Structure 1
Amino acid sequence: MMNLCDIVIILILKKAIAKCEMIAREAERCIILFLQAKETVEIRIDAQEHQGIGLALQDLIRDLSHVMNIQADCRKYLSDVEGFSILVGSLSNPAFSDFLKKKKIDFSDIDGKKEYYFVKSIGEEGRHLVIAGSDTRGAIYGIYEFSRVVLGVNPLYLWTGHAPAPKESLDLGSISLMDGPTTFRYRGWFINDEDLLLGWTGKFDQDFQNNAFTKHAGYANALEPIMETALRLKQNLLIPCSLLDILDPSDEDLVRRVSERGLLISQHHIEPLGVFPKRVRRYWQEKGDVEPLSYTKNPEKYEEVWRLYASRWARYDNVVWQLGLRGMGDKPVWADDPYAPETASGRGQLIAGAIAKQHEIIVEALGHNDFASTATLWMEGMELLKGGHLSFPKETIIIHADFGPTQMLGDSFYEVKREPDRQYGIYYHVAFWSCGPHQVQGTSPQKIYYNLQAAVQQGNTDYLVVNVTNLREMLLGTQYTAAIGWNFGNYQPEAYLQDWSVEHYGQQVGGAVALAYQGYFGAFHALDNRGYAGRMLLMDGMCRRLTVKLVAILNGQPFTKDEIQNKTLLAFDQAEDFISYYKNATGDALPKWDMALNAAHQALQEIDEERREFFTTNLIVQLTLIRALYRTVHHLSVAAEFVLAGSTSEKYQARGRILEALAELQLASVIRMHAEKGKWKGWYDGDVLLNLPDLIRQVRECAGNY
């Protein structure tokens, strides 16, 4: 029989055992909740999921390795796992949704929606993590959102070079993320006028300059980081390049890659059914038919080629088909078709008839009419629609475009009547050739917000494609359009610029960096302020045109008023007026560029070492280039005034100014090398649009004449 002392001892022992068990459970909980560096993670995904989810998982595995040196054991079947695991899948896959039901995991919040996702800790003490998408892209977005929020991987890291901070452990016990698109249905990029990307990834040869946009050998090396970045920014559509020819095996490889990534693919607005007009002409020339090509006179010639291309594009189920009829070189069809109607109503009927035929050909190629299609009203199309001269298939999304040289939606956008139950979208530029921006960013967050807000207010929210040219220079504007395209309520422009500066350069220097960017965007000379301050700005492409024009004047060529899209640029009858305007315009802007450079240099001193390279390439190199272009135009304008004055002494002074212009361009070419380090080596090898080497050559030869 136990005495009182024995009972007390037993009670104490029981308490101690209970406490030890509690400590053990707590220790186990810590092991479960905190994933430690150098551990192995079990990942499960059903084998029937779309390949794009698997490719996004490969990126996640790489992210885990970079952040925590964690290895992943990824198996393509669904099963229970002891210890920590990540379960990934889409509700569009019955095997995955059945598995979630079996485990009593509630997915009702995203079920039946488009591109939604949730990322949740589940199970005892949060021992498992589920990344579920309502569909394929929803699952992909969920994977990348986990990388962004939990691992700290910035969506632009492939372009900024900013590695995420290493972590010793991750608290995975209470993760709960859910989101989906709320504003634009289709959201994507148009990689257009991609001379730098092509020169950087392809083999540069003597034919490149004359054939820059049909050489895609090696372009897949650029396409991979573009697609990954697009998906990390929750884009769902891509026009991967200019003038893609699916009959070329290397170009069809690009289409295949976009499909495998889980992205939708569409076509350039001058490529209805994926074929551009010059390719139609070449098709018949290869058959020995050298007659002038005219859709008005011989529509059957176009239709034969359209059927050929539609049959090849129909192999892919992720196509948003482009419909339309334009001429060679992105001009109206009547610019090179002598038989085209001369009246607006006749032209509208011609284009509407071609679009109806294209829609019919797609139905034939697919065997059904359940497909997405767009018609981009670029330039003349907006006016024809406004006048009531265009009609479209009822399922086709009508795309209103901004005016490229201004990045502003025009009067027609606001004035055209919307049809009930019709879908509408917009095509917008954060980059544009030939007036710019191209090698320097110029479309400010304020301008982007102003125009996308108008699109939302007008109901043009079914489609948003953004022209981003070579992407690398336009990261700020590209990321902003992606953010407010996903959810327009996300960011006011001023707050976005501040947050972007902190995100990419750090909390301590964010304010100074934001001021530097504001100074940069505020330094451009406004050519046209109608309706919006800075509606049309003097940008890099315009500066190239002015330089060439001024060199021609200095070389004694007669002054002519050229016909270009940006009519404001050269809308002068007399050389003296032209010269005077741009001398004063650039002269007024130069102090602002100097102040912007000073602000950028001051911010640079405060930025941490590992962030300085991106700030240099994204702002200082671009600022230096546009400042040099302004100074070049200014010096050449002054030189031209001296020459027109006619005296010998003034012509001698003109030579000095021409040499100063040459020095500015040469200095810019040296500074530009700072953007060609590491993996960016050769970034400007394909510069055939701004073509800085050619500008230097022209100005040097001009100086030689004096």
Structure 2
Amino acid sequence: MELCINRNTTITTTIRIKSVRKAVENLKRDLCKSCLETKLPGAEICLVEYEQEKECYQLIAFNNRLEIRAKDEFGFIYGIYEVSRRILGIHEFWFWNDQKIIPQNEFRLPEDYFYQSTPFKVKYRGWFVNDEVLLNSWYVERKKSKPWEMLFEALLRLGGNMVIPGTDKNSNTYRDMASEMGFYVSHHHAEPLGAEMFARQYPNLSPSYDEHAEKFEKLWQDGIQKQKKMKVIWNLGFRGQGDCPFWDNDPRYQTDEARGALMSDIIQKQYDMVKQNDGNAICCTNLYGETMELYQKGFLKVPKDIIKIWADNGYGKMVTRRQNNHNPRIPSLPTKGEKGSHGIYYHVSFYDLQAANHITMLPNSIAFIKKELDKVIKCNASDFWIINCSNIKPHVYLLDYISKIWKCDSMDSEVFKNNYVTNYYGSKYQEEIIKCFDAYSKYALSYGNKEDEHAGEQFSNHVARTLASQFMKDRTKHAESLLWFRNTNNLIDQINSYKNMCINATDNYDKYLKMCELTVHSLDHNSEELFRDSLLLQARVHYYCFKGASLLCEGLLEAEKENYKQSFYLVGKAKKNYLQANHELRAREHGKWKNFYQNECLTDIKQTAWVLSGLMSYLRNMEDGPHFYQWQREFLYAPEDSKVMLILNMENHLTDDEIFSLMEERYD
């Protein structure tokens, strides 16, 4: 006799845990989404307490009902969402990938149906919702909190049990929701103990621990009290009042020894405060950037039982990150046999104002990520994985892949790609779409000679803005902040190097864009919409931004030769490409995605266009100022009138954009 799961299926439980109840309500919603109305009775789904390993569950058909058997909170939550996935066909990123759910009359299970989950490879695993500027101004169902609820649901479906629920004010706003949905909450490495930032509480005081130790400690104690009733993994440490070293604000600490000593003392103090409140408290600390260097040199001492979190460089490589022009690339993993508990902070999205990805996918391949995470597992750094997930939607592909690894320590990339594309795009066009996913990293720009040094969209925007700004400030000097990619004291050398890279990138993305456009025209409607929202959109963003960057460089080089008119025109063309890239983002804001990209303020493609508007005004002033009538006469008047200047101009002065439009008419 088969079990019939349908619209009339009931879910029964005596479990009162709020997070489990929330998951039950979501399963009821999923039944309504996936099942047609019927008068036929449906089998019961019942939650049963049963001896299991921690976080594990069974699904078993028994006496005309489907039992979800588990011992603990997470076991039940994961079992509930597994019913949704395995039986109803609702996948982990159904919300974020707009999965097309086609309701069925019923779902039948054999009477001997049985499934047993296995323990997770990684003990604490989850997301850091960081640089979340797109989520910050996006409403779903007129609720600002709804995207966060769906974010937390997706993470639970992936088997996550831990989250840093946003940055700065957001972490306080969404901490309660995360806790109520069952998560351990943790903290940004610059916000120890989840406490209020010193500079916000005391804006007129120097953020010096030496001067105001009691005030810092009061903030930490208050943070502990606010989270007393939550499951917390306490992050200990001491960085500056931004995402920077504390010694940037306190010049008294100029040696590694002094810096390490202060941080060691503070971490011990925070540790003691947490343990006084809860002797079983779980603590961690980030060995990130400058902190890792101090630890490797032996200047940072931490309590033996806290989890040490090692970090990638923002590009998926387990080495220290580049900060400004400093790029030591020190291996960032525990040495073989190093005692204690270890974990990682890993990025699928990063923000460094240099070359990282934020609104596009990580430009490195799944094979590369697998290799790096295999190293992590071999080093026994499997106690804690926090993945920087940014704004979710641009990064679901890699977030899904990493979640498969934290479940079972390895995941064949080909199997994953086949499953992912089938689940969200359908099996009909699987081969073509997989080729587009694979080609994404192959066409990415290599800006250095290391395997991870591939450029995200920040490279085509932040570097471009820096060069334009430096040219206007002082073209006789190089851009100091760009020595990381071109170590020269000559601005023109920097511009030429960047131009060559961007021309190469434009050629590559032209090929990739054509590949994606050819693919999208062969897809059916359901697959086409998601493909346009994901790979095709990102291909267009990269193409137009790199095209804009290469035109900007050509314009700057013309300006250096004092060909200001030609320079103005080329910079105008560059601006037009950046505006087109921004338009491509906004054009994909259909349905619930309305205004998703309106607050794209970190890469900020539209700001790049704004900076180029300023550059156009600067260039026009160099030749057409201060009275601004010569270019207007040249491009607006007929040739026989342009040189007759009895009256300088008979019309209002044209704006830069109007002059550019006239140039386009003539030159194009």
TM range (shorter): 0.7 to 0.9
1:374-413 to structure 2, matched below 5 A, reads 374-405=284-315, 407-410=317-320, 412-413=330-331
* 1:518 alignment partner AA: D
Q: How far did 1:579 drift?
A: 0.8
Is the counterpart of residue 84 in structure 1 residue 67 in structure 2? no
Is the counterpart of residue 183 in structure 1 residue 121 in structure 2? yes
1:559–1:351 distance in 2 versus 1, CA, 3 Å: farther
Distance, in Å, in 1 between the alignment partners of 2:258 and 2:219 is: 24
Distance, in Å, in 1 between the alignment partners of 2:19 and 2:616 is: 56
1:36–1:331 distance in 2 versus 1, CA, 3 Å: closer
Is the counterpart of residue 169 in structure 1 residue 106 in structure 2? yes
Residues 58-103 of structure 1 show CA distances to partners (whole Å, capped at 9, x for unaligned) of 1111111111136999xxxxxxxx98311114xxxxxx34xxxxxx
1:60-79 to structure 2, matched below 5 A, reads 60-69=27-36
Q: How far did 1:218 drift?
A: 5.8
Distance, in Å, in 2 between the alignment partners of 1:692 and 1:420 is: 44
Greater shift in the superposed pair: 656-665 or 691-700: 691-700
Residues 486-541 of structure 1 show CA distances to partners (whole Å, capped at 9, x for unaligned) of 1122x2234423332232212121110111122222222112233x2xx1222212
Q: How far did 1:235 drift?
A: 0.8
* 2:475 alignment partner AA: P
Distance, in Å, in 2 between the alignment partners of 1:561 and 1:497 is: 44
Local SS of the residue matching 1:62: helix
The match for 1:35 is: 4
Residues 634-675 of structure 1 show CA distances to partners (whole Å, capped at 9, x for unaligned) of 0111111122233xxx43322221121112112222222232
1:56-205 to structure 2, matched below 5 A, reads 56-69=23-36, 84-89=43-48, 96-97=49-50, 107=51, 111=52, 113-123=53-63, 127-172=64-109, 173-201=111-139
Give the alignment's Cα RMSD to 1 decimal: 2.5
Local SS of the residue matching 2:119: coil
Is the counterpart of residue 44 in structure 1 residue 12 in structure 2? yes
The match for 1:11 is: none
Tell me the number of residue pairs that the alignment of Structure 1 and Structure 2 aligns: 607
* 1:375 alignment partner AA: T
1:297–1:417 distance in 2 versus 1, CA, 3 Å: farther
Is the counterpart of residue 234 in structure 1 residue 159 in structure 2? yes
The match for 2:503 is: 587
Q: Answer yes or no: is the 8 Å Cα contact 1:245–1:275 preserved in 2.
A: no
Residues 275-326 of structure 1 show CA distances to partners (whole Å, capped at 9, x for unaligned) of 25xx2133235xxxx442211343222112211221112232x111110000
Percent identity of equivalent pairs:
24
Local SS of the residue matching 1:187: strand
Distance, in Å, in 2 between the alignment partners of 1:327 and 1:562 is: 26
1:241-252 to structure 2, matched below 5 A, reads 241-244=166-169, 251-252=172-173
Is the counterpart of residue 520 in structure 1 residue 440 in structure 2? yes
Is the counterpart of residue 357 in structure 1 residue 269 in structure 2? yes
Distance, in Å, in 2 between the alignment partners of 1:146 and 1:202 is: 26
1:654–1:354 distance in 2 versus 1, CA, 3 Å: same
Q: How far did 1:552 drift?
A: 2.1
The match for 2:585 is: 672
Distance, in Å, in 2 between the alignment partners of 1:701 and 1:414 is: 42
* 1:673 alignment partner AA: R
Local SS of the residue matching 1:273: helix
Local SS of the residue matching 2:209: coil
* 2:399 alignment partner AA: T
Q: Answer yes or no: is the 8 Å Cα contact 1:154–1:164 preserved in 2.
A: no
The match for 2:392 is: 471
1:199–1:84 distance in 2 versus 1, CA, 3 Å: closer
* 2:103 alignment partner AA: P
Greater shift in the superposed pair: 479-488 or 169-178: 169-178
1:679–1:245 distance in 2 versus 1, CA, 3 Å: closer
Local SS of the residue matching 2:127: strand
Is the counterpart of residue 651 in structure 1 residue 564 in structure 2? yes
Greater shift in the superposed pair: 575-584 or 158-167: 158-167
Q: Answer yes or no: is the 8 Å Cα contact 1:506–1:607 preserved in 2.
A: no
1:43–1:679 distance in 2 versus 1, CA, 3 Å: same
Q: Answer yes or no: is the 8 Å Cα contact 1:294–1:339 preserved in 2.
A: no
Is the counterpart of residue 610 in structure 1 residue 526 in structure 2? yes
Q: Answer yes or no: is the 8 Å Cα contact 1:64–1:71 preserved in 2.
A: no
Q: Which of residues 490, 499, 507 is equivalent to 1:574?
A: 490
Q: Answer yes or no: is the 8 Å Cα contact 2:198–2:241 preserved in 1.
A: no
The match for 1:283 is: 201
Distance, in Å, in 1 between the alignment partners of 2:30 and 2:39 is: 11
| CA radius of gyration, larger in | 1
The match for 2:594 is: 681
Residues 124-155 of structure 1 show CA distances to partners (whole Å, capped at 9, x for unaligned) of xxx11111223111111111111111111111
Distance, in Å, in 1 between the alignment partners of 2:318 and 2:420 is: 23
The match for 2:430 is: 510
Distance, in Å, in 2 between the alignment partners of 1:159 and 1:645 is: 50
Is the counterpart of residue 344 in structure 1 residue 256 in structure 2? yes
Extract unaligned runs of 5+ from structure 1.
Answer: 1-28, 74-81, 90-95, 98-106, 204-216
What TM-score comes out, normalization by structure 1 length? Answer: 0.81
Distance, in Å, in 1 between the alignment partners of 2:443 and 2:604 is: 23
What TM-score comes out, normalization by structure 2 length? Answer: 0.86
Residues 378-398 of structure 1 show CA distances to partners (whole Å, capped at 9, x for unaligned) of 101111111111111222100
Q: Answer yes or no: is the 8 Å Cα contact 2:100–2:526 preserved in 1.
A: no
1:694-705 to structure 2, matched below 5 A, reads 694-704=607-617, 705=619
Distance, in Å, in 2 between the alignment partners of 1:429 and 1:176 is: 37
Q: How far did 1:617 drift?
A: 1.0
Residues 408-452 of structure 1 show CA distances to partners (whole Å, capped at 9, x for unaligned) of 434544575467540000000000113421011124322321221
Greater shift in the superposed pair: 456-465 or 431-440: 431-440
Local SS of the residue matching 1:538: coil
1:283–1:555 distance in 2 versus 1, CA, 3 Å: closer
* 1:195 alignment partner AA: V
1:181–1:626 distance in 2 versus 1, CA, 3 Å: farther
1:247-286 to structure 2, matched below 5 A, reads 251-252=172-173, 254-275=174-195, 279-285=197-203
Local SS of the residue matching 1:41: coil
The match for 1:211 is: none
Q: Answer yes or no: is the 8 Å Cα contact 2:333–2:379 preserved in 1.
A: no
Residues 552-611 of structure 1 show CA distances to partners (whole Å, capped at 9, x for unaligned) of 2553533655565x8623543211211111111111122211111111112212222112
Local SS of the residue matching 1:200: coil
The match for 2:650 is: none
The match for 1:624 is: 540
The match for 2:636 is: none
1:181–1:537 distance in 2 versus 1, CA, 3 Å: same
1:602–1:245 distance in 2 versus 1, CA, 3 Å: closer
Q: How far did 1:242 drift?
A: 0.4
Q: Answer yes or no: is the 8 Å Cα contact 1:519–1:595 preserved in 2.
A: no
* 1:116 alignment partner AA: C
Distance, in Å, in 1 between the alignment partners of 2:150 and 2:476 is: 46
Q: How far did 1:233 drift?
A: 0.9
Distance, in Å, in 2 between the alignment partners of 1:392 and 1:556 is: 46
Distance, in Å, in 2 between the alignment partners of 1:158 and 1:572 is: 48
